[in-house]
Each structure stands twice: as structure tokens, then as C-alpha cells.
């Protein structure tokens, strides 16, 4: 990296800590900040500070929330007898965007990954089990369709099924608008597996 004066270097280093940001992008961002009016830069600082201070975990579903209970958990219109288990908040947002689901969620905060030292006790699993108090009829496991997501799904189903709760897995299929001939065989196999009656 070329030599910049210290305050600039420090700012670049800060941006570099963000996921997916290399040194070139970090430098671009830092110069972007330098070109901002002072008030805009202040707003930036305030947004970061507020996100760190005001965002916490919902006491029920462990999703990000700005109050003790998140909007979904405190909505009486949502069906509390169904819990959809996801890896992170981004999955909640994606599923909400589909406007198909009216149950509640549970955010695991990751997936089981022995290689990265992530064991079930590092995830919000005991919080999930604590919710299975008799009112919950179905748990939909919506972890991502990769090895770690599958491992987590199998682990959870073995844990939950003995408690007398129905466990289902999200069906993965061919993306809408895609041509069957271009779908890979794994995706097609999943689509066949997850088929349903008309």
C-alpha cells in the first residue's frame, strides 16, 4: 500500500477490517470519507455507535432487535406454533421478503462446523429447545443447503424429534426462471426429493 499520512492510513485500516474489503476498496472508502462534508462524516460515526449500542438479541428468537422482543416475536398475528430455524438475521429478512410465512423464527447464530471449532453449544440451540414447551407443533429447519447446513439440520432434527415436535426441512429446488437443463444434478436431486402433490 502506498504511504499515506497517519490519520488516512488509520482510516484505511479500519475499512479493511470489514468482510470482503481489500486494500484498494478500503482506500477508496477512506478518501470517500475525507471528501464528505463534516456533518455527513459525523452521521456515519453516530450510525456505527448507535448500531453497536442499540442493537441486541431478541430474548425469544435471538434475532437482532432494538428492543427486548423483536417485532415478529411481539406480533400477536404471527403463529407461535411454528418456528423456522435459520442461520442468521439475513435469512430472516430473505424469508420475510417472500411474504409466504406467518410463523416465528429462531436464529442460530451460525452452523455447526467442527473445522472452525463451532460446536452446538456455541450456537443458540439451548434457547431453541427452551421454546419447545408444548405450544410449538412444527420446527422448520432452513439452514443453507451445504455440508455444514445439512450437518446442523440433522443434529437439530435428532435433538427435537424425540420431544414430540414435527421437524421439517425447507425444500430446495430449481431457481425460478432457470432452465432445467442448466441446473446441476445436486439441485435437481433436491428438487425431486422435495416434490409435492398438486
CA 64 from chain centre, in angstroms, equals 10
What are 163-168's contacts with CB under 8 Å, separation 24+?
Answer: 163/129, 163/132, 165/132, 165/136, 165/137, 165/138, 165/139, 166/137, 166/138, 166/139, 167/138, 167/139, 167/141, 168/138, 168/139, 168/140, 168/141
Cβ distance to Zn ion smaller for residue 63 or 148:
63
Contact between 58 and Zn ion by CB under 5 A: the answer reads yes
Contact between 107 and Zn ion by CB under 5 A: the answer reads no
Cβ distance to Zn ion smaller for residue 93 or 116:
93
**Contact criterion met (CB below 8 Å) for 46 and 38:** no
Closest to 61 measured CA to CA, from 124, 5, 7, 123: 124
The stretch near Zn ion (CB under 5 A) out of 3-11, 56-64, 132-140, 179-187 is 56-64
Contact between 108 and Zn ion by CB under 5 A: the answer reads no
The stretch near Zn ion (CB under 5 A) out of 5-13, 22-30, 66-74, 189-197 is 66-74
The stretch near Zn ion (CB under 5 A) out of 63-71, 122-130, 163-171, 189-197 is 63-71
State which of residues 26, 60, 86, 140 lies at the interface with Zn ion (CB under 5 A).
60
State which of residues 11, 30, 70, 111 lies at the interface with Zn ion (CB under 5 A).
70
The stretch near Zn ion (CB under 5 A) out of 2-10, 27-35, 70-78, 115-123 is 70-78
**Contact criterion met (CB below 8 Å) for 85 and 142:** yes
State which of residues 73, 107, 136, 170 lies at the interface with Zn ion (CB under 5 A).
73
The angle at the Cα of 145, spanning 140 to 151, to the nearest 5 degrees, equals 75
Q: Which residues bind Zn ion (CB under 5 A)?
A: 58, 60-61, 63, 70, 73
Amino acid at each position: 500500500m502506498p504511504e499515506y499520512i497517519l490519520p488516512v492510513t488509520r482510516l484505511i485500516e479500519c475499512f479493511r477490517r470489514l468482510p470482503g474489503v481489500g486494500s484498494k476498496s478500503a482506500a477508496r472508502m477512506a478518501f470517500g470519507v475525507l471528501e464528505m462534508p463534516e456533518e455527513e462524516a459525523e452521521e456515519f460515526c453516530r450510525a456505527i455507535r448507535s448500531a453497536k449500542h442499540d442493537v441486541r438479541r431478541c430474548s425469544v428468537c435471538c434475532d437482532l432487535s432494538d428492543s427486548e422482543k423483536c417485532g415478529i416475536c411481539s406480533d400477536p398475528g404471527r403463529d407461535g406454533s411454528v418456528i423456522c430455524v435459520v442461520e442468521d438475521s439475513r435469512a430472516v429478512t430473505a424469508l420475510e421478503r417472500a411474504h409466504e410465512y406467518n410463523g416465528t423464527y429462531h436464529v442460530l447464530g451460525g452452523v455447526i462446523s467442527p473445522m472452525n471449532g463451532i460446536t452446538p453449544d456455541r450456537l443458540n440451540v439451548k434457547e431453541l429447545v427452551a421454546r419447545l414447551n408444548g405450544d410449538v407443533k412444527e420446527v422448520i429447519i432452513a439452514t443453507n443447503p451445504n455440508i455444514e447446513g445439512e450437518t446442523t439440520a440433522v443434529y437439530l432434527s435428532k435433538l427435537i424429534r424425540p420431544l414430540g415436535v414435527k421437524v421439517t426441512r425447507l425444500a430446495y429446488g430449481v431457481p425460478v426462471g432457470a432452465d432445467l437443463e442448466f441446473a446441476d444434478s445436486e439441485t435437481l436431486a433436491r428438487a425431486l426429493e422435495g416434490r409435492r402433490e398438486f
